[in-house]
Structure 1
Amino acid sequence: MSKAIALDAFDRKLLERLQVDAQTPIPVLADEIGLSAPACYRRIRRLRDTGAINREVAVVHPRTLGWPLSMLVLVTMERENARTVDEMMRMLKNVPEVIEAWNVTGDHDFVVRMLARDMESYDELVRELFAADDRVRSFKTLVVIRQVKDASPVPVA
């Protein structure tokens, strides 16, 4: 979670540009937004230190590493209390095939994005994670046919 910091126009331009390509050299960024390279570097470091920039990663296509299937699993807990939710969050964080998970409101308690090598491995995993767990009332799987839009930059405006 980021600390509340005041962002000026330069900070906003930096955040907008870095969300598109975090490997842009600082002199290029500085030139594009109208700052000196040292000032640009200091601002980026402050944005990182305050948590405004959460992390910088390489986004790898799952198929590259042998994960052709992607699913969204909607999980409904038997009883939703703080202990049960915390236990489920801890468990989901430790499963490599779970690449994203959200605790949500509405008809379901969790939305889980998972990867699988094939349907058999997916079936084994959901049986272990959800079907055999007494805390889980039900789960529903949505198999992703194609991704329509990749994760997008957060709007800066």
Structure 2
Amino acid sequence: MDHLDKFDHRLLSLLRSDSRRTGKQLSEKVGLSQAACLRRVQHLRDIGAIEKEVAIISPEVAGASVTLLVMLVLTRGQPEKAAQLRRDLLKLPQVQKIYHVTGNADLVLTLQCASMEAYSNFTEAHFYSDEIKGFDTIVVLRSYDPEPD
């Protein structure tokens, strides 16, 4: 990865909280010209410092008002089945992200469901399989994002 200077890091910080900032807005915060900011942002995309830009859809609009973090413990010794399980789970609309983690769990999933009943149905349909040894769930009560600068 190319060397990133303080301006690049500042741009990344600003874009992390709002990737729709204009060149003018970035310029005012960073202290470079609009053109320089936009060139740097394009360079950050080109070198992979910015992997992707996404729209975060309101859970209420998406019909999924309950956010859950689910820690899955997988059955050992089945790497090909675990890989297929990850691929299958990522196809489900409720699954927002999967993390392969260390610790007591093997995977942590971020899910969005319409209700706790919908989540209960989801668990019955997808978590009671030979590949999954067990799971624990954390229900998100409230989330906080970094304040935009």
Normalised by the length of structure 1, the TM-score is: 0.81
Q: How many residues align?
A: 147
Q: Is 1:121–2:121 an aligned residue pair? A: no
Counterpart Cα distance in 1 of 2:93 and 2:100: 18
Q: Is 1:95–2:92 an aligned residue pair? A: yes
Q: SS in structure 2 opposite 1:112?
A: strand
Aligned counterpart, 1:63: 60
Residue identity matched to 2:82: V
Residue identity matched to 1:135: E
User: Where do 1:29-44 residues align within 5 Å?
Assistant: 29-44=26-41
Aligned counterpart, 2:79: 82
Gaps of 5+ in 2: none
Residue identity matched to 2:39: R
2:136 to 136, 140, 156: 140
Which deviates the most, 120-129 or 76-85? 76-85
Normalised by the length of structure 2, the TM-score is: 0.85
- RMSD across aligned positions (CA): 2.0
Counterpart Cα distance in 1 of 2:65 and 2:25: 37
1:81, distance to aligned residue in structure 2 (A): 4.2
- Maintained 8 Å contact 2:78/2:131: no
Which deviates the most, 71-80 or 89-98? 71-80
1:22, distance to aligned residue in structure 2 (A): 1.9
- Maintained 8 Å contact 2:82/2:131: no
Gaps of 5+ in 1: none
User: Where do 1:45-64 residues align within 5 Å?
Assistant: 45-64=42-61
Counterpart Cα distance in 1 of 2:50 and 2:75: 37
Counterpart Cα distance in 2 of 1:143 and 1:36: 44
Q: SS in structure 2 opposite 1:59?
A: coil
